[in-house]
Amino acid sequence: MNSRGSSHRLSSSASSFRNRISFLMLSMLATMSVFYVAGRLWQDAENRVYLINELDKRTGQGKSAISVDDTLKIISCREQQKKLASLHVELDKARQEGFVPKHPSENSGTQSKKKLLAVIGIVTRFGGKNNRDAIRKAWMSTGAALQKLEEEKGIVIRFVIGRSTNQGDSLDREIDSENGQTKDFIILNDHVETPEEQAKKTKLFFIHAVDHWDAEFYAKVNDDIYLNIDALGAVLSSHLDQPRAYIGCMKSGEVFSQPSHKWYEPDWWKFGDGKSYFRHASGEIFALSQALAQFISINRLFLRTYSYDDVTAGSWFIGLDVKHVDEGKFCCSSWASGAVCAAA
């Protein structure tokens, strides 16, 4: 009996001892785990503090990171700045392309104090010196008389010509020499003189004129036409109340589709089955109010040209709110009473 009881007590003592050992081991493991986790958290906290400090040093703010809302506002502001910069670039380009007309004086480079009545471009060509000399003697004047015409009557007159196919050759040098003596040319350096580019030349004249002179009207004239300057000034002055006036001897006519014909139009098919031109001013002389000349300058890249400058100019104004003035005094071959022009 005693032996059995003694064995039972020993067994209970051993079991109790093993339980305490297990508890102590678990406690030690738990304590170590707590210290480990706490250490990691402390290390992570230190890392975060270090990274924030480094970020502040690099950004120069010395403050905590900004909020998400502030970040979005900054991003939006930067996008607006980019858009504004882009608009400035487009505005500068628009100015270069004529959207902001400039009217410096051709000689002094300063803006004219008094608005001119008209700028007249006489479209001429290489080999046309005899015509130019005849015009200078008949109605255009030269030197001081030409300057007086500008100052007293507000009318500027210039011959209009481009450059030779071989720029700098004898043709160009002759024009440069002539202009050096008379100073009455608009030389279109970017235009090559060819019969096929007559319409483009007329367009470039209007662009140049409206960019260099502030005038009520801009007129194109052929170099075989004689003008009565006083009569022309009177006619133009009578239309000052029409801000979008297209003035000329209005006509229309057949569109010729045969390449062998003198007045062949390569784009004849665009004028419909009737093959008839729309109403337009004769190319001998026609005048545009300032608003229309500015329209040509602004839209220079989009306005196409046809074979002839009279049809070309008429095509530009078909879809616009323009007053077509059929002025009989601009019909140079009619010899009408009070006509402003006559064909040579």
Is residue 322 within 8 Å of residue 288, measured between CB atoms? no
- Does residue 196 lie in a domain region? yes
**Higher confidence at residue 319 or residue 33?**
319
**Closest by alpha carbon to 243, among 182, 325, 153?**
325
CA gap 319, 195 in Å, rounded: 28
Strands 245-251 and 323-326: parallel
- Does residue 75 lie in a domain region? no
- Amino acid 162: pLDDT: 95
- Amino acid 300: pLDDT: 92
- 93-117 per-position pLDDT tens digit: 665 554 555 554 444 444 445 899 9
- Does residue 19 lie in a domain region? no
- Amino acid 21: pLDDT: 63
- 48-85 per-position pLDDT tens digit: 666 666 666 655 554 555 666 666 667 777 777 777 77
- Amino acid 93: pLDDT: 65
pTM: 0.65
| Element (DSSP H or E) covering residue 342 | strand 341-343
- Amino acid 240: pLDDT: 95
- Amino acid 109: pLDDT: 45
What is the total count of domains within the chain? Answer: 1
- 169-216 per-position pLDDT tens digit: 999 999 999 999 999 999 999 999 998 889 999 999 999 999 999 999
Which phi and psi (to 5°) does residue 190 adopt?
-95, 5
- 265-295 per-position pLDDT tens digit: 666 555 655 566 677 788 899 999 999 999 9
249 HSE (CA, 13 A, CB side): 19
Q: Quick one: DSSP state of residue 47?
A: H
Query: What is the CB neighbour count within 10 angstroms for residue 205?
Result: 28
CA gap 204, 193 in Å, rounded: 12
- Amino acid 278: pLDDT: 73
- Amino acid 130: pLDDT: 95
Range of the domain at 300: 116-343
- Does residue 107 lie in a domain region? no
- Does residue 239 lie in a domain region? yes
Is residue 154 within 8 Å of residue 115, measured between CB atoms? yes
> What angle is formed at CA 87 by the lines to CA 86 and CA 88, rounded to 5 degrees?
90
- Amino acid 315: pLDDT: 86
- Amino acid 107: pLDDT: 46
Question: CATH number for the domain including 170?
Answer: 3.90.550.50
Q: Facing residues of 127 across strands?
A: none
CA gap 301, 243 in Å, rounded: 23
Is residue 163 within 8 Å of residue 189, measured between CB atoms? yes
- For residue 251, what pLDDT band results from cuts at 50, 70 and 90? confident
- Does residue 162 lie in a domain region? yes
- 150-159 per-position pLDDT tens digit: 999 999 999 9
- Amino acid 294: pLDDT: 95
- Does residue 92 lie in a domain region? no
- Does residue 213 lie in a domain region? yes
